[in-house]
Chains A and B, each alone.
Chain A
Amino acid sequence: MKEQINLSIDTQCYHCGESLPLIPFSSEDKQFCCAGCKGVYLILSSHQLSSYYVYNAVPGASQKKETAHFDYLDEPAIAAELVDYTDDHTTVLTLYIPAIHCSSCIWLLENLYKIKPAISSSRIDFPKKQVTITFKNQQISLRNVVELLASVGYEPLISLQDMVKKQQSDHSERNLVTKIAVAGFCFANVMMLSFPDYFGFAAFEQNFKSFFNWINLALGIPVLLYSARDYFISAWTNLKNGILNLDFPLALGIAVMFVRSAIEIITQTGAGFIDTLCSLVFFILIGKWMQQRTYHYLSFERDYRSYFPVAVTCIANGKEQPIPLNELKTGDRILIRSNEIIPADAILLKGEAKLDFSFVTGESLPVEKVLGEVIYAGGRQLMGAIELEVVKPVSQSYLTKLWNNETFAGEKDPIQTFSNTASKYFSIALLLVAIAAGLFWINTDLNKAAAAFTAVLIIACPCALALSSPFTLAAVLSIFDQNKFYLKSTAVIEELARISTIVFDKTGTITNPAANGFAFSGSLRPEDKQLLSDLARNSGHPLSRELVKWLGMAAVYPVNQYREQVGRGLSGTVNGHELKIGSAAFLGISAKDKGSVVHVLIDNAYCGCFRSEQRWRTGFKQLALKLGQDKDLHLLSGDQDHDRGLLTPFFQRMQQLHFKQSPQNKLDYITGLQRTGKKVMMLGDGLNDAGALRQSNLGVAVTDDINNFSPGCDAILDGNAFEKLPQFIRQAKDAVKVIHMSFVISILYNVAGLFFAVQGLLSPLIAAILMPLSTVTIILFTTLSARYYARKNKLL
């Protein structure tokens, strides 16, 4: 056992758990995968914070990525935007830190004061992945605090579209909980006071009866005026717009219930329905709460502003100065360091530009630019620092223009839900039955007519109906969540069930960006691979870089007589062997090249060739075949069409494969499909898909790390769950089936209640039993059947 523990320590980084390179970084007896991880360990151990590693094994996140520059935080204007509160000595700041994932994170971040005593307190909100830091601003600056976080491996995500701020000002969930609490309080007390009435008073207790009823009436008022307020408002606004939604019969039922109860209690003719009223409001509010539960750490509303940096380094009068992005003007000279993003269309003035546009255009190969060329916004610089002159403001650039499109102007159309459609007919039928019952009695007994009319509205108040959708969908939502499919709202499930057409983006969506692979045909010994890796390491060509990454070997031998012919091949002497790799023409051999092929020649002997291939996500082939059976599949790629041949078998018709698509093209294509009456689901990952995701009926962002940027969408799908897509669709369809079935059940309850109501015989006791009974039935039925179908669809 002891040996096993040692073994696991030896092969993985002590900080982040990644496998160690050939020559690991080590400190004392601990080994690390990179200098970053070791640095974090050294900081922590020098401040007696090594317990970080005790609470969890390998708690850290990989530190291989370069951390950003935070010098812009020294600008008062930018700092003021970020802080929650500041005065002469104290500043309070809330930051979103995507790396928070375990109890060690909580422990370390709440012990920051041990590293910098100027930090007076730091508190984590784990579900939201936020930390609130209070610090003495005389002793430590905002920038120092953020740099401290970055140095221990918890770099906060600071973006222009600050979701931290938005969440802080959003108290809708708190308000709903308050309403539930008030309704629950009144419900429990009214129930207690109503029991004697149901079970009968002894003769000497009769004089309490009206007193209890008066208290009940008093407790009903806050429920009516406060807890149920939203239903009245919603019913009224919808009615004004000519829409009959489920809130109308609910509000009507509540109002009628209260008025009739008040009359009965005041005239001392009965006990009223206050208990039913309170239970009804309590249950429907719980249903609403179930439906509103959201993911605090995910944002579905992101646009380019959260992808772009907050500030950019501007060069004015020979001085470097960070300025906020929204102050960037045409003609400004900006400095972009390695790994930073170009924020606006600009002309290259100085330096070597090699840009990764994969997120913006979908093109997977880096693009090189020469001096004087215009560089579009959104590219990520891969080489050293460059200087540029801005030619267009941020909001007018080629990329961000997409957001000026009218598609983004208003709210997305609300999804048509079954409960909305059904409630229209339900409301009309309910009113007809109530009027008919009233008319039937009107000639014989006026009192009975009023009783029957109100009783129908009370008993048919669609409590169970209102709960069937929220409870089914909330159950499905949490099942999807367990399978790493995160939906923006419950209505998305119903939309998912209606999808007829699926449009895929290529790069990053159906291909796995992390695994660009090679297939080798021929024979290579392990030591030959080492030689190849050492040779290719010297080249900046994308193919060579990918080859080195794919071979995954540490540098061992130096290369002599290195020569590179750009775009053709490399040659050199490594460890006494003469190596030549590149195209067939470069090597002087005859072979038919198709696509990206790298031939290998060692000591003038032909060893074989590497063929670059895109790796599809696991299960893409089966997925395409399965979905293709009853759905229309399309592909929209921003890439060149070199993969057309590979993709053709997966799509029914060649015309449905489209390459070299601009973001606007994609958006228009979706609109075109929708015009022909199709319900379109779009799967994409980059900013170039943002328009299409927004326009489609259901936009799904596919991402490998849900903490990374993903464009605005209706749902976020983890790359690992990609192959489960057909199961998700089937589950959504089953969920709609469950909703239909529970509608039938709740209608049956209503019919049973109506049987008493139309005869004018509805007693408060029957109402008080029927309402909770139907509610509990619906909650149990929907939750259990949703789970049953999930098991059938292999999602549980």
Chain B
Amino acid sequence: MIYPLLGLSIVLAILFLMAFLWANKTGQNDDMYTPSVRMLFDDQPQPPAEEQSDEDHIQT
């Protein structure tokens, strides 16, 4: 029983390694910074006026 399970665990680990190597090869690790900023942008950014009132709200 232990032999197939061991084999399975190693195969699984190799799959993860392959996934990482593929990501690395296609350049997904080249830029580690921009995506972290990009995800914070709203799809429909709020107009500046509203943002201004938000700021005031926090300050008072």
Using a CB–CB distance below 8 Å, which chain A residues touch chain B? 1-2, 50-51, 53-55, 103, 106-107, 110, 123-128, 174, 177-178, 181-182, 185, 189, 208, 211, 215
Cα–Cα, bound, A174→B25 (Å): 7
User: B16-31 vs A: 1/0 string, CB under 8 Å?
Assistant: 0100110011010111
> Please, which residue of chain B has its CB at the minimum distance from the CB of A208?
B2
A128 close to B31 (CB less than 8 A)? yes
- Pick the residue among B14, B25, B31, B46 that contacts A127 (CB under 8 A): B31
- Pick the residue among A50, A55, A189 that contacts B10 (CB under 8 A): A189
B21 close to A107 (CB less than 8 A)? no
Cα–Cα, bound, A123→B45 (Å): 18
Cα–Cα, bound, A581→B36 (Å): 59
Chain B neighbourhood of A125, CB < 8 A: 30-31, 34
A106 close to B48 (CB less than 8 A)? no
- Pick the residue among A1, A2, A181 that contacts B20 (CB under 8 A): A181
B48 close to A54 (CB less than 8 A)? yes
B17 close to A51 (CB less than 8 A)? no
Given contacts A51-B48, A54-B46, contact A185 B27 (CB under 8 A): no
B31 close to A50 (CB less than 8 A)? no
Given contacts A50-B47, A174-B25, contact A126 B30 (CB under 8 A): no
Chain B neighbourhood of A54, CB < 8 A: 45-46, 48, 51
> Please, which residue of chain B has its CB at the minimum distance from the CB of A185?
B17
For residue A206, give the distance in angstroms from its CB to the closest CB of chain B: 13
CB contact list, B37-57 vs A, under 8 A: 37-38, 40-41, 45-48, 51, 56
Cα–Cα, bound, A590→B32 (Å): 68
Interface on chain B toward A: helix, strand, loop, or mixed SS?
helix
A-B contact pairs, 29 of them (CB 8 A): A50-B48, A51-B47, A51-B48, A54-B45, A54-B48, A55-B41, A103-B37, A106-B34, A106-B38, A106-B41, A107-B41, A125-B31, A126-B31, A127-B33, A174-B24, A174-B25, A177-B24, A177-B29, A178-B21, A178-B24, A181-B20, A181-B21, A181-B24, A182-B17, A182-B21, A185-B14, A211-B3, A215-B6, A215-B10
Chain B neighbourhood of A174, CB < 8 A: 24-25, 27, 29-30
Q: Does B8 make an interface contact (CB < 8 A)?
A: no
> Please, which residue of chain A has its CB at the minimum distance from the CB of B26?
A174
Given contacts A1-B59, A107-B41, A182-B17, contact A126 B33 (CB under 8 A): yes
> Please, which residue of chain B has its CB at the minimum distance from the CB of A189?
B13
Give 20 new A-B contacts, CB below 8 A, not counting A107-B45, A174-B27, A185-B17.
Answer: A1-B59, A50-B47, A51-B48, A53-B48, A54-B45, A106-B34, A106-B41, A107-B41, A110-B38, A123-B34, A125-B30, A128-B31, A174-B25, A174-B30, A181-B17, A181-B24, A182-B17, A185-B13, A185-B14, A189-B13
Range for the number of chain B residues in contact with chain A:
20 to 34
Cα–Cα, bound, A2→B58 (Å): 12
Cα–Cα, bound, A125→B34 (Å): 6
> Please, which residue of chain B has its CB at the minimum distance from the CB of A106?
B37
Chain B neighbourhood of A215, CB < 8 A: 6, 10
Chain B neighbourhood of A128, CB < 8 A: 31
Cα–Cα, bound, A174→B20 (Å): 11
Chain B neighbourhood of A177, CB < 8 A: 24, 29
Cα–Cα, bound, A208→B1 (Å): 12
Chain A neighbourhood of B13, CB < 8 A: 185, 189
Cα–Cα, bound, A590→B1 (Å): 109
Cα–Cα, bound, A181→B2 (Å): 27
For residue A59, give the distance in angstroms from its CB to the closest CB of chain B: 13
- Pick the residue among B3, B14, B46, B59 that contacts A51 (CB under 8 A): B46
Chain B neighbourhood of A51, CB < 8 A: 45-48
Chain B neighbourhood of A107, CB < 8 A: 41, 45
Chain A neighbourhood of B27, CB < 8 A: 174
Cα–Cα, bound, A1→B60 (Å): 9
Chain B neighbourhood of A50, CB < 8 A: 47-48
Chain A neighbourhood of B30, CB < 8 A: 125, 174
> Please, which residue of chain B has its CB at the minimum distance from the CB of A102?
B37
B34 close to A124 (CB less than 8 A)? yes
**The 3 residue pairs across chains A and B that have the minimum distance between CB atoms:** A51-B45, A126-B34, A125-B31
B24 close to A2 (CB less than 8 A)? no
Cα–Cα, bound, A178→B17 (Å): 10
For residue A45, give the distance in angstroms from its CB to the closest CB of chain B: 10
For residue B5, give the distance in angstroms from its CB to the closest CB of chain A: 12
Chain A neighbourhood of B25, CB < 8 A: 174, 178
> Please, which residue of chain B has its CB at the minimum distance from the CB of A222?
B17
Chain B neighbourhood of A211, CB < 8 A: 3
Cα–Cα, bound, A126→B37 (Å): 10
> Please, which residue of chain B has its CB at the minimum distance from the CB of A5?
B55
Cα–Cα, bound, A107→B38 (Å): 7
> Please, which residue of chain A has its CB at the minimum distance from the CB of B16?
A185
| Residue from B29, B31, B56 with most neighbouring chain A CB atoms (10 Å) | B31
Cα–Cα, bound, A361→B45 (Å): 50
For residue A742, give the distance in angstroms from its CB to the closest CB of chain B: 29
For residue A297, give the distance in angstroms from its CB to the closest CB of chain B: 11
Chain A neighbourhood of B32, CB < 8 A: 127
Cα–Cα, bound, A54→B55 (Å): 11
> Please, which residue of chain B has its CB at the minimum distance from the CB of A181?
B20
> Please, which residue of chain A has its CB at the minimum distance from the CB of B56?
A2
> Please, which residue of chain B has its CB at the minimum distance from the CB of A205?
B2
For residue B11, give the distance in angstroms from its CB to the closest CB of chain A: 12
Cα–Cα, bound, A1→B59 (Å): 8
For residue B58, give the distance in angstroms from its CB to the closest CB of chain A: 10
Cα–Cα, bound, A181→B45 (Å): 39
Cα–Cα, bound, A50→B38 (Å): 17
